Amino acid sequence: MKDKPQLAVVLLAAGKSSRLGQLKQLISCNGQSLLQKQCELALSVSETVCCVLGFKATQLQKHLSSKSLPTKQSTIDDSKLAQVKLVVNNDWQKGMSSSIVTGITNLDKTVDGVLILLVDQWRLSTLELQVMISRWQNDFEQGVSNIVVAGKDLVGNECVSDLISTNEVFKPTKEKEQKLGPPVIFPRKYFKELSQLSGEKGARLLLTKYQSELTIIDYPKAFDDIDTPEQLKKMIELEKQQAQVL
């Protein structure tokens, strides 16, 4: 029996960013491109990272392999960044589901679970991902195969940072509407269904199908992404505010 379950990370970075009007993967966030930042984030919680590219894949592959990547904010060395497995989804125009399928089908059979995250979830942090992973590991050790997923508007203004010391988890309630989404951890038992997804909805269909098997971590910041110029402006303004505090 394994001492510790093996978790892989699939980073989805294949989209065209049509609404944004520019490649979100190359947007600068705290001195790094989002793509570099998220690859490093993934590597901070797992040694097995698969990054799914699509639109402008060649350009982005060259970007990640560039010797001129900024290192000031980097938490890892270049050799570790090179460990990221870059795969290309040639069907990226068919939606997020096709990228999930590409990522899942490129994982080794030894993997016990997969953490799916998005390239534009710029407010994610290692510590907060570790809360989710810890819960998944505890479930695994107890023979439980729940899906661990980020949620929003579960308990007022509380967020996952408030749960780090208590590791408290909030279950779905019928009385309160909830928004669920990445980061999300799927145990291996769901891999077959993940590999058969299609359309724009990604893995949301599975979250609906298996509502009774969800472990929800309240994590509002996970829903701050960059799909529009307005959202990009919000990120830039917050960066400036943080810089002034420092």
Q: Which residues, in sequence order, are CB contacts of 198 under 8 Å at separation 6+? A: 94, 95, 97, 98, 101
- Cα-Cα-Cα-Cα dihedral sign, residues 177, 217, 151, 193: negative
* Residue 2: predicted pLDDT: 56
The neighbouring-strand residues paired with 216 are: 149, 170
* Residue 4: predicted pLDDT: 84
Q: Note whether 218 and 154 are within 8 A (CB).
A: yes
* Residue 162: predicted pLDDT: 41
pLDDT of the chain, 246 residues: tens digit per residue: 456 899 999 999 999 988 888 899 999 988 899 999 999 999 999 999 999 999 999 999 999 987 556 555 555 566 678 899 999 999 999 999 999 999 999 999 999 999 999 999 999 999 999 999 999 999 999 999 999 999 987 544 344 444 433 334 444 444 456 789 999 999 999 999 999 999 877 899 999 999 999 999 999 999 998 989 999 999 888 888 876 665
* Residue 161: predicted pLDDT: 40
Domain annotation covers residue 81 = yes
* Residue 82: predicted pLDDT: 85
* Residue 238: predicted pLDDT: 86
CATH code (residue 105): 3.90.550.10
User: What total of structural domains would you count in the chain?
Assistant: 1
* Residue 166: predicted pLDDT: 36
Q: Which residues, in sequence order, are CB contacts of 128 under 8 Å at separation 6+? A: 160, 161, 164, 219, 221
Domain annotation covers residue 2 = no
For β-strands 85-88 and 48-53, DSSP reports them as parallel
* Residue 240: predicted pLDDT: 80
Domain annotation covers residue 162 = yes
Q: Note whether 158 and 87 are within 8 A (CB).
A: no
Spatial separation of the C-alpha atoms in residues 203 and 192, rounded to whole Å: 12
* Residue 176: predicted pLDDT: 54
Task: Pinpoint the alpha helices (H) of the chain.
Answer: 34-43, 57-65, 78-81, 96-104, 126-141, 191-194, 204-209, 229-245
Rounded to 5°, the CA angle 76-80-84 comes to 120
Question: How large is the C-alpha radius of gyration of the chain?
Answer: 17
* Residue 124: predicted pLDDT: 92
Domain annotation covers residue 1 = no
Domain annotation covers residue 206 = yes
31: left (phi over 0), alpha (psi -120 to 50) or beta: left
Spatial separation of the C-alpha atoms in residues 1 and 197, rounded to whole Å: 31
* Residue 67: predicted pLDDT: 56
- Domain extent at residue 237: 7-245
Q: pTM of the predicted model, to two decimals?
A: 0.86
Spatial separation of the C-alpha atoms in residues 182 and 222, rounded to whole Å: 7
Query: What does the DSSP assignment read for 195-213?
Result: TT--SSSTTHHHHHHTGGG
